[in-house]
Chains A and B, each alone.
Chain A
């Protein structure tokens, strides 16, 4: 009897589930086009914006600093009267260092909180995870970190460097100033280093630089004995470092420990900023090179104001770095676009974006309305004994963004 009853329930429930499923069908088929419908409320005297940064997980140490500089920008804007007379209301979400969570929280900010724009993301995987969400909902994302390029989305503004504003100038510096003839590539095993090294190898081939080796370690790996042995044995003129996070600590300790020096075999890093220097150790990094578009040491009134304000809010020991500055700048750029458009509506803001400028701490930046990146000056820096980074070479003027490297005839994707 019991078995009979349970099998009847089983059958009934299956029918129920299938029936409900069938009634729920009849939606759009693939190939139909999406229609994003905005629910942004601009009727009151505030407007909501979203901050989406990893406040927990492995990326928290970096992304928390971006959250702080975004918050500072929002406070400044509010103190100054807001945007189009409306105060900014911040909705903050934790991306938890996981792409899946970034996608979920982005959806929440857009559909549930109805924010006018979202600021955040750091890793390439977080950006790739959010991209379809912003495109599908026709919403706005401002992404503040240098990345591997080869992307431009209608719904994303990239305020960090693309490769022709960071990696290619760094190679120009090594070739012209350091006169290198060979190079060794070391990177973490994920998309940014692999794509960066793909570009570096083609640049090297076109410019007569020999690539003596290419080594990858999993993200978070601290086992660099063998890698550094290989670097040492290869004896390249310079090392191009695309390692991320903790791996840098192990790599530079090993590098110094095996007797390699900045003067004999310089390392140029693209993921070490002021924030990371104390973690890796000033002693291990002094004299090594970095490539960014902003350093705390930039001598300009705008930067002095930025650094002073950040230290006032976060303590005298707080440092400012490139991604923080790019995030801070992104909020002001969005403000500029909204004011130019005289509207918070996504399409109006995108239409108004072209040519919007802002006197950022890094210098004046300008939005390219076509590829949604911004023109930025490339700066090669050298780590000094205080753990800050001094500019030793500059592109002198902002470089127009070229995410797909169309203007470089050596580039074949």
Chain B
């Protein structure tokens, strides 16, 4: 196997070594737990990279799907802690100490996993059908997706008796039989999150190179042209949106045992934009950009808030302003500019050899106004 064929995976391998070998060796249990949390965000970010970076759909409300996965997992963990026939602690406190019917099936761990994988796909599928078939796009789609995340958070807050309201759900003792207080089990959760993140990036690498991946970019850059060529862009966008939703849900489900809590603050508008921020920082259209960006944003947020507890949010704001002004293509653009046309930079953008001329990093113009690009 020649060097040229190997090199596309160098970036991924570096990330894999960093996450699976380096980090567990040097980080304390607490810091590894934080990294596990960033990995959960990064899994959702990988999906956003597909939908937004590749598909041009500004998904401002991925917190909805993150939340579906998180709450399904949290409900299962609460029920598992309560034991067979038991009632989660908060229901006795705020409600009438009975488990609502729609909670009951989640006593089964297998059913919870099915919900985590299938429910977001169903919701995203139905929503996508309704939206993309009617050719709703651009800002309208962005606002709609954000409104759904907001509505979901408000719904959760209002149902104190069955969702814990603003408190959310927390105080989990076990995760599928493993005690969560044990550092060894926390490390296991970290490896699961990091492993799923790495696998999902590989899956994206495969998707981006597939016919579907190329169609998706074509739809992003010229939806009308794709339609004239006989392919319904709605189906392509729908598939990308559903995959992004499922990835967000998986990230959310893993977040719960790792963070030990989920609350409406973790699934609402601000959380959704937080998921997006990492993707923008890393480079939305690149393969590794969304994941690396999400990990970096998580790390930066923690470090800044620890170093400057009173004023860290100003630094964060300044960082985003700088990135948007100077690097609209994210950090991936920086590598691209420095290395020029090297193989690895091409890989980082996930663009197959020979195709980079057409699929250059999203020019901000075609990104912001896909209709305009289509008209050109």
Interface residues of A (CB under 8 A from B): 1-3, 5-7, 9-10, 13-14, 16-18, 20-21, 24-32, 34, 55-56, 92-94, 96-100, 103-104, 107-108, 111-112, 123-125, 128-129, 131-133, 136, 150, 189-191, 194-195, 218-219, 413
Contact = CB atoms under 8 A, between A and B. Distances in A.
A194 B259 contact: no
B265 A10 contact: no
A218 B16 CA distance: 44
Given A24-B187, A150-B93, A30 B165 contact: no
Interface of B: 1, 5, 9, 12, 16, 20, 28-31, 33-34, 37, 80-81, 92-94, 154, 157-158, 160, 165-168, 170-174, 177-179, 181-185, 187-188, 190-192, 194-196, 198-199, 202-203, 205-206, 209, 259-263, 265-266, 302, 305-306, 309-310, 312-313
B158 A189 contact: yes
B167 A99 contact: yes
10 contacts: A6-B205, A14-B195, A27-B179, A29-B177, A34-B179, A56-B313, A93-B309, A100-B263, A103-B259, A124-B167
A189 B182 contact: no
Contact of A191 (B94, B202, B312): B94
Contacts of A5: 1, 5
A220 to B, nearest CB: 10
B181 A136 contact: yes
B188 A21 contact: yes
Contacts of A14: 195, 199
Contact of B305 (A93, A107, A132, A190): A93
Contacts of A24: 184, 187-188, 190-191
A51 B260 CA distance: 21
A2 B353 CA distance: 12
Contact of B173 (A30, A104, A124): A30
A133 B259 CA distance: 11
Contact of B168 (A17, A21, A97, A99): A99
A10 B5 contact: no
A191 B261 contact: no
A21 to B, nearest CB: 5
A10 B173 CA distance: 33
User: Which 8 A/B pairs are nearest by Cβ-Cβ distance?
Assistant: A17-B195, A27-B184, A30-B174, A27-B185, A28-B182, A24-B188, A27-B182, A34-B181
Contacts of B174: 29-31
Contacts of A10: 199, 202-203, 206
Contacts of B173: 30
B5 A28 contact: no
Nearest to A24: B188
Given A27-B179, A132-B260, A133-B260, A219 B157 contact: yes
Contacts of B312: 56, 94
A16 B15 CA distance: 14
Contacts of B202: 6, 9-10, 13
Contacts, number: 186
Nearest to B173: A30
Contact of B167 (A111, A125, A136, A219): A125
Contacts of A31: 174, 179
Contact of B170 (A28, A123, A132): A132
A27 B188 contact: yes
Nearest to B184: A27
Contacts of A123: 166
Contacts of B192: 17, 21
Contacts of B80: 30
A171 to B, nearest CB: 21
A13 B184 contact: no
Contacts of A112: 28, 30-31
B331 to A, nearest CB: 23
Contacts of B171: 128, 131-132
A103 B260 contact: yes
A83 B345 CA distance: 58
Contacts of B203: 10
Given A20-B20, A29-B178, A104 B259 contact: yes
Given A17-B198, A190-B166, A26 B184 contact: yes
A272 to B, nearest CB: 20
Contacts of B166: 99, 123-125, 190-191, 219
Given A25-B188, A30-B174, 8 more contacts: A6-B9, A6-B206, A27-B182, A29-B179, A56-B313, A99-B166, A124-B166, A189-B165
B183 to A, nearest CB: 7
Nearest to B310: A55
Given A9-B202, A99-B263, A21 B177 contact: no
A219 to B, nearest CB: 7
A17 B179 contact: no
Contact of B309 (A94, A129, A136, A413): A94
A27 B263 CA distance: 27
Nearest to B12: A9
A100 B167 contact: no
Which of A1, A55, A124: most chain B CB closer than 10 A? A55
B272 to A, nearest CB: 14
A24 B181 CA distance: 15
B261 A17 contact: no
B182 A125 contact: no
Given A10-B202, A190-B160, A30 B178 contact: yes
B154 A218 contact: yes
B30 A107 contact: yes
Which of B9, B37, B81, B179: most chain A CB closer than 10 A? B179
Contact of A104 (B12, B34, B167, B310): B34
B195 A18 contact: yes
A78 B260 CA distance: 36
Nearest to A190: B166
Contacts of B190: 24
B182 to A, nearest CB: 4
A218 B165 CA distance: 11
Nearest to B198: A13
Nearest to B13: A9
B113 to A, nearest CB: 16
Contact of B199 (A17, A108, A128): A17
B305 to A, nearest CB: 5
A106 to B, nearest CB: 10
A218 to B, nearest CB: 6
A18 B199 CA distance: 11
Contacts of A28: 178-179, 181-182, 184-185
